[in-house]
Each structure stands twice: as structure tokens, then as C-alpha cells.
Chain A
């Protein structure tokens, strides 16, 4: 069982650059047809200052700059072969654009078990702030660990 003392642990701040090339790669890999996500000229014509990050991209930014403190794998000792994604939500406040430098902080909100411990759930929130100090978005991720 995962030690509940991890509840409340707040990660270190992580910095990550939103790279134009990665946004284009993400758009292609996810089959995006809307050119504002991969063509700078189209984004500009639509009134954006740069390529916008699509609405799930914060998840990828967080994977690109994983937390050391409060890590599910290194701190909590979860085996990667046992995980499933349970739930995911996003709150969007300000757009994230190519060229932004985002600061991420992740906090573990809850750890609980179901089915007599056969499944454990880890709930973490990650908040993203841009280089202007504006809170851009936050996301809530529930990771499921299969112990059965």
C-alpha cells in the first residue's frame, strides 16, 4: 500500500519551455486538422500571437518536466507496469503559446484504496504559471495502481 504520508507533498518548481516544434509534432501525432495548431501563419490569421498549445498539452508539459518530490515512481515506489489513468480534468485560465516558459508545481491531494486494496488511487493537481506570472491552467490527474 502506498504510504499516505505522501498526501500534501508539494513538488519543487519545474521550468519547461513550450517548444514550437513539439507543438507541431503533437498536432501531427494526434491527427489535428486545424492548422492553427501547426501553421504559424494560420495561427496569426486567427489572431494568436504564436501557435497555441492544445487543451491537453499541459499533461505533456508535466511529463516533460517530471517532479522529483512527490513522484509516483521514485518517491511512492509505484511500478509503471501497474498503472492506469483513472481520471483527468483541466481548468483553463490563460492560453499557453509556443515560446512560453511555464513553471509547474504538483501537489498530491489524496491517496485511497478500493476493493480491499486491489486498486489504489493517487490524485495530484498540477498548476501552470507562465513567464508573466499568470496562472494559465491547472489539471487534476487520478492515477490508478492495479495491485491485484
Chain B
């Protein structure tokens, strides 16, 4: 049996995606994500190592928040509509942060001959710091 087609959002400039909230990010979150994502950089899992590198403590890898942003996008449209997306990591995501992902449709445009929406996307901590800033190109159908 196949699910009925998902009801798809209309996309027009100014539309906001539903906020996607994850966290708080614990040491357990970081340990599990390190294993699951093959990212063994000790800055994210070993407090002693992080402190010796001059950091206050372990901190979340940028790719954890980018995974959260991906969840926001694939909750909104099926993943196969996601054509291209990029982020800059603008601040470190500290331990215990709760992350809110936000997205807004900025333009409807043609991308490689296909009608698409260009979204502004971002991740923010509960301290009000923007940690990821970027954009996504999503096919309209």
C-alpha cells in the first residue's frame, strides 16, 4: 500500500516554513551524533580535548544543526524536491543549546530550467544567536 500523495504547500514569496525546534543538545546528543555521523573530531565529544584547544567545553558540530535544517525542509516538502542548499556557520552552537530552524520563501525563480523557490534558511540558539545562515533551492513540483 502506498500513502496518498502528501498535501503540498503552496509557495509564494514571504511564506514562512513552520519553525523546527530540536534540543537541548546534551553530551549524550553529541556522543550519539558523533558515532552516527562518522564525525570523530574530539572537539565535539571530549571536554578535556576541547578545553586544551582553547574552547570553553565541547560544542555541537555544525552538521548537527544542518541536519536539523534539513529536517525542517523535508518536513515541508519531500526530500527529492530539494535541489541545492548551502549554509555558513556563523557561530558555535554551545552545549545545552536548543536550536530553532527557520525558513522563508524569498523568490520564485527558474533554476536550471525548472520552477523553484529560493528560501532563506537559518538556525538560532535559545540565546538568540544565529548559528547557521544560508539558502535553499526547492522545486515547486
A residues sitting closer than 8 Å to B (CB atoms) are: 22, 25-26, 28-34, 45-47, 52, 54-56, 59-61, 63-64, 80-92, 95, 140
Contacts and interface: CB of A to CB of B under 8 A. Distances in A.
Nearest to B23: A31
Contacts of B39: 60, 63
Given A45-B3, A55-B70, A80-B41, A87 B49 contact: no
B87 A31 contact: no
Interface residues of B, number: 44
Interface stretch (B9-17, B74-82, B102-110, B122-130): B74-82
Given A30-B36, A81-B43, A88 B87 contact: yes
B97 to A, nearest CB: 13
Given A47-B2, A92-B82, A26 B89 contact: no
A45 B71 CA distance: 19
A105 to B, nearest CB: 18
A30 B79 contact: no
B84 A29 contact: no
A52 B79 contact: yes
Among B36, B41, B64, B88, max chain A CB count under 10 A is at B36
A91 B63 CA distance: 16
Nearest to B53: A81
Nearest to A139: B86
A91 B71 contact: no
Contacts of A84: 89, 92
B82 A55 contact: yes
B35 A29 contact: yes
A88 B131 CA distance: 13
Given A26-B37, A31-B22, A89 B52 contact: no
Contact of A85 (B35, B36, B61, B86): B61
Contact of B3 (A46, A52, A60): A46
A34 B71 contact: yes
From B67, B80, B89, B92, name the one whose CB has the most chain A CB atoms within 10 angstroms.
B67
Given A56-B63, A81-B43, A92-B82, A87 B89 contact: yes
Q: 3 shortest A-B CB distances, which residue pairs?
A: A89-B86, A29-B36, A63-B38
Nearest to B88: A87
B115 interface: no
Given A80-B41, A84-B89, A85-B61, A45 B1 contact: yes
28 contacts: A25-B36, A28-B32, A28-B36, A29-B37, A30-B36, A30-B67, A32-B71, A45-B2, A46-B2, A47-B2, A52-B79, A54-B74, A56-B67, A61-B38, A64-B38, A80-B41, A81-B49, A81-B53, A83-B41, A83-B43, A85-B61, A85-B62, A85-B89, A88-B63, A88-B89, A89-B86, A89-B134, A90-B85
